[in-house]
Chains A and B, each alone.
Chain A
Amino acid sequence: MTKVTKENVRYLAQLCRIACSEAKVDSLLEDFQNVVSYVEQLNEIDTSETEPCSYVTLGHTETPLREDIVEEPLKKEEVMANAPSTIAGLVRVPSVLQSS
């Protein structure tokens, strides 16, 4: 059984970009361990002869593409209306480079 540590949880939180207080790490850890232990039951199954499956539609082997026809796109203002912060029609974000 894989033992999940606080270190693992902290690292995963960092990978998926979710800030996590120490209290949160603690509360996530127990549930996380239970679920990981549960899903490990799959190791009981012999899959040495089985190919992994990533696509379920029968007889549908390629991704169909539609005709490349120019259409009217969404209006920029409508799309930008959902941005938390904008400037001159562009998305505004905090500075990426800090001056030293």
Chain B
Amino acid sequence: METLSACTLHHRFVSGAISAKEIVQNLLHHIKQYDSKIGAYLLVLESDLYAQADYLDEKRQRGGRLGILAGVPFAIKDNMHVKGHITTCGSKFLTNFVAPFDATVVRRIKEEDGFVVGKTNLDEFAMGSSCENSALQVTRNPWNLDLVPGGSSGGSAAAVAASMASIGLGSDTGGSIRLPAAFCGISALKPTYGRISRFGLVAFGSSLDQIGPMAYDCDDIELAMQALGVHCERDSTSLPGESFVPVSFEAKFGQGMRVGVPWQFLEALPLESRKVFDETIAHLKEMGGHIVDVDLSILKYALAVYYILGTAELSTNLARFDGIRYGLRSERAGNLDEVYDFSREEGFGDEVKRRILLGTFVLSSGYQDAYYKQAQKVRRIIIDKFAEAFRACDFVAMPVSTGAAFPFGAKKDPLSMYLEDIYTVGANLAGLPALTIPSGHLEDGRPLGVQLVAPQRHDAEIISVGKQFQQRTNYHKRRPNFQRGGLS
């Protein structure tokens, strides 16, 4: 099956070259053929898709207004609500939970005539960097089934990489959109904090979480942002005022651009990844980029800050899973205390428990100043250092991760898994937009990604750079070979 470019598919549908029903039939056929091996979807909304296709074909025939996403299939990470369907968060705690309302992002997709294809796998409550923490299913990397797809939005990344959706929605608290996108060789945006509504997203770290699109290329990312980057009055952290508006590379950077690179922070980058990154820098130079050395050495502390603030927030957010109103209730519980204690013991996996415990620790009496408050202060220093860097450059370029996708079970101790996010967490701590694009492949074919990190609300600017980059390069066009050797 050819790649499912959202923009192409939309135009083909609008022009009548393909019907909505054909789109759905082809897509479902493809999913049935391959997803048993990849495991991207936890649920596929087959009957909803046919109903939506009939509605769209009828609407086009009678000349009704078609939304900007008409004909575009979306995969939704299973921590966002689609009314009437499960939201499991990849957890045993929520296997039976049925969402009573649509997340704002899902409402926007429906309003703009997109297809909601299904719910995709994730690390439990989005906590993880490989997708191995899902309590429900294994998701494999379409480039090589022995490798993890990255996490936590591994299902959405694998679905897009394997052409089982045009656009995947992920959520990114410390790198959960960018890391799987890089591991699966696709483009993705972690937008400015507040750019996309979080209403209907199950909260993890409320000051860090951000929903974003994952797609074949930056044209598709831009299309998704036009539909999703709007103010939402049901999310009090939603950016007020103007919606996302695309900008042209020519208008913004036609006269040149200043690209910051934190060379000192990247000292530990392994040689093979460094080679790919140097190629990226060469491309950016050819695009008119003036390379500036920026000092972001403070980012070596970002992961420690993230693990204190992120766990503090998640331990608070996950307090709502008490076994009373929804989700799992332990059958062993004989009294109210046991409902809490046993339901949470049975419902949460090890990583979630570890993080709740850590969050409870850093907020507990006697430790709060030493850990939580100190982390909040270092967060401010990180924000200030980014602001300083952005006085010298328009955006910062750096790798998404130190290496490419790794085999299942390769990162056994939690800390080595946490270190996968060493380059990504900074953007979350400072609320900055970060665009990931495929930037090359290792000798064994595994893809790598680069991220462009910009000041707040400069989402459109980095997308314009990404689009220009993809006009000059072919990295994003190389697709996994999962139909043949990869899946045999």
Which residues of A pack against B, CB within 8 Å? 2, 8-9, 12-13, 15-20, 27-28, 31-32, 34-36, 38-43, 45, 47, 50-58, 60, 63-66, 74-75, 78-79, 81-85, 91, 93-96, 98
- Residue of chain A at shortest CB distance from B345: A19
**Residue in B96, B194, B342 whose CB lies within 8 Å of A19:** B342
Q: Beyond A53-B380, A57-B431, is A96–B336 a contact (Cβ under 8 Å)?
A: yes
A75 CA to B100 CA in the complex, in Å? 9
B379 CB within 8 Å of chain A? yes
Contact across chains for A84 and B327 when beta carbons are under 8 A apart: yes
Contact across chains for B361 and A18 when beta carbons are under 8 A apart: no
Contact across chains for B413 and A12 when beta carbons are under 8 A apart: no
A34 CA to B12 CA in the complex, in Å? 54
Pairs A–B under 8 Å by Cβ, sample size 29: A9-B357, A12-B357, A12-B360, A16-B357, A16-B359, A17-B340, A34-B413, A35-B414, A39-B307, A39-B371, A42-B301, A42-B371, A43-B370, A45-B381, A50-B381, A52-B376, A54-B207, A54-B376, A56-B430, A56-B431, A64-B236, A66-B234, A81-B100, A82-B96, A82-B327, A84-B324, A93-B336, A95-B335, A95-B336
Q: Please tell me which stretch of B14-22, B348-356, B442-450 contacts chain A, meaning at least 4 of its Cβ atoms lie within 8 angstroms of it.
A: B348-356
A54 CA to B312 CA in the complex, in Å? 12
Give the shortest distance, in Å, between A35 (CB) and chain B (any CB).
6
Most chain B CB atoms below 10 A, which of A63, A64, A95: A64
Give the shortest distance, in Å, between B464 (CB) and chain A (any CB).
21
Q: Beyond A12-B360, A82-B327, is A38–B354 a contact (Cβ under 8 Å)?
A: no
Most chain B CB atoms below 10 A, which of A78, A83, A93: A93
Most chain B CB atoms below 10 A, which of A45, A54, A74, A79: A45
**Residue in B207, B323, B338, B361 whose CB lies within 8 Å of A36:** B361
- Residue of chain B at shortest CB distance from A52: B376
Dominant SS at the A interface?
A: loop
B101 CB within 8 Å of chain A? yes
- Residue of chain A at shortest CB distance from B382: A53
Contact across chains for B329 and A52 when beta carbons are under 8 A apart: no
**A96 contacts which chain B residues (CB < 8 A)?**
335-336
A54 CA to B207 CA in the complex, in Å? 8
- Residue of chain A at shortest CB distance from B236: A63
Q: Beyond A39-B304, A52-B377, A54-B207, is A31–B341 a contact (Cβ under 8 Å)?
A: no
Contact across chains for A12 and B361 when beta carbons are under 8 A apart: yes
- Residue of chain A at shortest CB distance from B331: A84
Q: Beyond A52-B380, A66-B233, is A15–B364 a contact (Cβ under 8 Å)?
A: yes
**A35 contacts which chain B residues (CB < 8 A)?**
307, 354, 358, 414-415, 418
Contact across chains for A32 and B358 when beta carbons are under 8 A apart: yes
Q: Beyond A20-B345, A34-B415, is A53–B377 a contact (Cβ under 8 Å)?
A: yes
**B395-424 at interface with A (beta carbon < 8 Å):** 413-415, 418
Chain B 359-373 interface mask (CB, 8 Å, partner A; 1/0): 111101001001101
Contact across chains for B322 and A17 when beta carbons are under 8 A apart: yes
Contact across chains for B324 and A18 when beta carbons are under 8 A apart: no
Contact across chains for A13 and B357 when beta carbons are under 8 A apart: yes
**B341 contacts which chain A residues (CB < 8 A)?**
17-19
A15 CA to B353 CA in the complex, in Å? 12
**B380 contacts which chain A residues (CB < 8 A)?**
50-53
Contact across chains for A84 and B329 when beta carbons are under 8 A apart: yes
**Residue in A41, A75, A84, A91 whose CB lies within 8 Å of B304:** A41
